[in-house]
């Protein structure tokens, strides 16, 4: 597991309501691409700069809503989303992963995918799910490079049961061209979970 990815994902998880990404030039995390779904890159095509465009909340500043679908909004930083959308939830507890925070949620059909237009050697993403989650990484030919797995202590827990909030990490020695997240239940596999704080590592080390 690549330490810088875990550090970055932890940083963003702890500061998910803070739009400041860890891109300082003197930071060991400077080479990473962090996407917290709070803003688009804006006219300059880069994240973490002054022209970033913040995503809106819900109408009336209350409740939970779908803010927008995702496709090429992050293309300038090399990331394309297929069958993903952004949700927002207003809430009183800013320390809750879901409250006052934008996150990306996967659709069900066609299977959602994240395509990477630049060579990426590491992926870390914070998952919020009621099932174990598997990240499958694919090469430029669409062949499976490998997978990583986030277990759940009580899979399928619903209602008042807490969802698992964990970081899924996958490191590769060959470029990752795309990846997919899948919920794994005793009855089969399905998509539809939500994630936040996607961190991509373009360098091999």
Q: What is the 3-state secondary structure (H, E, C) of 73-137?
A: CCHHHCEEEECEEEEEECCCCCCCCCCCEEEEEECCCCCCEEEEEEEEEEEEEEEEECCCEEEEE
Binding flag, residue 55, Ca ion (CB under 5 A): no
Report the candidate in 74, 70, 67, 26 with the shortest Cα–Cα distance to residue 47.
74
Stretch that binds Ca ion, among 91-99, 154-162, 179-187, 192-200 (CB under 5 A): 192-200
Binding flag, residue 11, Ca ion (CB under 5 A): no
Among 11, 37, 85, 88, binds Ca ion (CB under 5 A): 37
Binding flag, residue 41, Ca ion (CB under 5 A): yes
To 10 degrees, the CA torsion angle through 28, 34, 36, 39? 110
Query: How far apart are the C-alpha atoms of 64 and 59, rounded to whole Å?
Result: 9
- Distance between first and last Cα of the chain: 11
Binding flag, residue 171, Ca ion (CB under 5 A): no
Stretch that binds Ca ion, among 9-17, 84-92, 119-127, 180-188 (CB under 5 A): 9-17
Binding flag, residue 75, Ca ion (CB under 5 A): no
Query: How far apart are the C-alpha atoms of 19 and 117, rounded to whole Å?
Result: 24
Binding flag, residue 130, Ca ion (CB under 5 A): no
Q: Binding string to Ca ion for residues 82 to 101, with x set by CB under 5 A, is what?
A: -------------------x
Residue 41 CB, nearest distance to Ca ion (Å)?
5
Write out the residues near Ca ion by the rule CB under 5 A.
16, 36-37, 41-42, 44, 46, 49, 51-52, 101-102, 196
């Amino acid at each position: 597991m690549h330490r810088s990815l875990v550090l970055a994902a932890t940083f963003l998880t702890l500061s998910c309501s803070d739009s400041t990404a860890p891109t300082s030039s003197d930071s060991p995390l400077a080479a990473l691409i962090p996407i917290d779904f709070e803003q688009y890159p804006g006219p300059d095509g880069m994240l973490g700069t002054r022209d970033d465009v913040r995503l809106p909340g819900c109408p009336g500043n209350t409740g939970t809503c779908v803010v927008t679908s995702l496709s090429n909004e992050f293309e300038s930083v090399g990331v394309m989303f297929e069958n993903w959308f952004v949700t927002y939830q207003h809430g009183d507890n800013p320390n809750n992963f879901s409250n006052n925070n934008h996150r990306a949620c996967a659709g069900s059909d066609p299977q959602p995918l994240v395509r990477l237009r630049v060579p990426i050697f590491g992926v870390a993403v914070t998952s919020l799910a009621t099932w174990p989650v598997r990240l499958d990484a694919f090469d430029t030919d669409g062949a499976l490079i490998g997978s990583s797995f986030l277990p759940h202590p009580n899979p399928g827990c619903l209602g008042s049961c807490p969802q698992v909030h964990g970081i899924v990490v996958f490191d590769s020695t060959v470029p990752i061209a795309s990846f997919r997240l899948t919920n794994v239940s005793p009855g089969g596999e399905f998509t539809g979970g939500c994630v936040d704080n996607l961190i991509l590592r373009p360098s091999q080390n």
